[in-house]
Amino acid sequence: MIKLTDFLSAAHIHVDMSDYKVHLATGNPLDAFFKGEFKEWQEYQTKRNFPCKMVISLIELRKHKWLFAGVYKILSHEKKSEKHIAYQTELLAGQDNLIGRLIVHHKRAGRPSYLKGKSDGGDFEICEILPTRLEIEDFPGHNNVNISYSQLASVIQQGVQTWKGALSNVKGVYLITDTTNGKHYVGSATGSSGIWQRWSSYVSSGHGGNKELKILLKESGSAHKTNFQYSILEIADTHSTDDQIRTRESYWKNVLCSRQFGYNSN
């Protein structure tokens, strides 16, 4: 495999190898990337994390795999508050056909996200070049849905057709998991537009009208909704009645103990 910095050099993207950092972006940068807002996302820092001339930005995809998000020149920074350093950066020219296509292999050692760049390019190697820029993935199948609030918001707001088509035509039982504490909320979709309509209400309000989730967001702040993760427990048979779907919803509440330990109040 070829080193990322060698590949960039061959593509005439010149990184100042004497003074650069590698930003291992984790959290929700992929959502910002899909929305075309990664540059702004990265420019908001809580500390002066970029005391350098350039930054190579990589977004975590999965274990040891990172998506190339560009090389940025640091122009300036300004301290806005104790926990807000606002950077101004400039994306180096000539990267449009590489950003979102290069998959980089790197074994992260520990928790640091801002690594001082090594003159030899370090342990960052190109392991895959996608044919096109990575975008919101097509619907993975009802049994494989596991999506964050931010990703779901992008899917709903953009009306991604593979997702809309798959979720609009089915009713069923779904699960919302609070990733900060592992608590569950089990719900069901019985409306004419199925799970798509129900999940659209969560994107709009954060709580979808649910009593316990309303209380949670009031106490923790509306931003807490970004900690929610959505999945599907079961799809209803086309002949299932609404009462039968609600019976299955109750079954899953019992299985997951979401009344005793989660966010279901009934």
pLDDT tens digit sequence for 235-245: 998 788 999 99
**Per-residue pLDDT tens over the stretch 12-26:** 999 999 999 999 998
Measured at the CA of 118, the angle between CA 112 and CA 119, to 5 degrees, comes to 170
For residue 225, what pLDDT band results from cuts at 50, 70 and 90? Answer: very high
- 151 pLDDT exceeds 80? yes
User: Are 62 and 167 contained in the same domain?
Assistant: no
Domain count, the chain: 2
In angstroms, the CA 9 to CA 182 distance is 45
Q: Where does residue 92 fall: left (phi above 0), alpha (psi -120 to 50 degrees), or beta otherwise?
A: beta
Residue 264 lies inside a defined structural domain of this protein: no
Residue 134 falls inside a structural domain: no
Please check whether residue 161 lies inside any domain of the structure: yes
49 and 13 share one domain: yes
58 domain-assigned: yes
Same domain, 39 and 83: yes
Give the CATH number, domain containing residue 224.
Answer: 3.40.1440.10
Predicted confidence at residue 153, as pLDDT, reads 86
Question: Average of pLDDT values for 59-73?
Answer: 92
Residues 24 and 115 in one domain: yes
- pLDDT value at residue 126: 97
Q: Which has the higher per-residue pLDDT, 232 or 148? A: 232
- 157-211 pLDDT per residue, tens: 888 889 999 999 899 999 999 999 999 999 999 988 899 999 999 999 999 999 9
19 lies in the same domain as 122: yes
12 and 93 part of one domain: yes
If asked whether residues 216 and 169 sit together in one domain, one would say yes
Q: 157 and 77 in one domain?
A: no
Query: What's the distance, Cα to Cα, between the start and end of the chain in Å?
Result: 55
Segment 67-126, tens digit of pLDDT: 999 999 999 999 999 999 999 999 999 999 999 999 999 998 888 999 999 999 999 999
Note whether 35 and 121 are same-domain residues: yes
Domain termination residue (choose one: 78, 106, 129): 129
Evaluate whether 57 touches 71 at the Cβ level (below 8 Å).
yes
Give the tokens for residue 110.
Answer: 């520990």
- The residue among 205, 149, 177, 209 whose CA lies nearest residue 28 is 149
Residue 263 lies in a domain: no
Digit-coded pLDDT (tens) for 129-147: 998 888 777 898 999 999 9
- Is residue 261 in some structural domain? no
User: Average model confidence (pLDDT) for the chain?
Assistant: 93
In the prediction, which pLDDT does 210 show? 93
Among the three residues 74, 108, 129, which one is the final residue of a domain in this structure? 129
pLDDT score, position 198: 96
User: Looking at residue 74, what is its pLDDT?
Assistant: 98
Supply the pLDDT for residue 178: 96
**CA angle centred on 256, ends 250 and 261, rounded to 5°:** 105
pLDDT in the model for residue 7 = 97
Quick one: 107 and 168 in the same domain? no
Residues paired with 156 in a beta bridge: none
Query: With bands split at pLDDT 50, 70 and 90, how would you rate the model's confidence at 8?
Result: very high
Which of 70, 98, 129 terminates a domain? The answer is 129
Its domain, for residue 79, covers 4-129
**Is 72 within the bounds of a domain?**
yes
Residue with the bigger pLDDT between 170 and 30: it is 170
Q: Are residues 21 and 100 in the same domain?
A: yes
Average pLDDT (23-50) is 91
125 shares its domain with 239? no
pLDDT band of residue 219 (cuts 50, 70, 90) is very high
Is residue 265 in a domain?
Answer: no
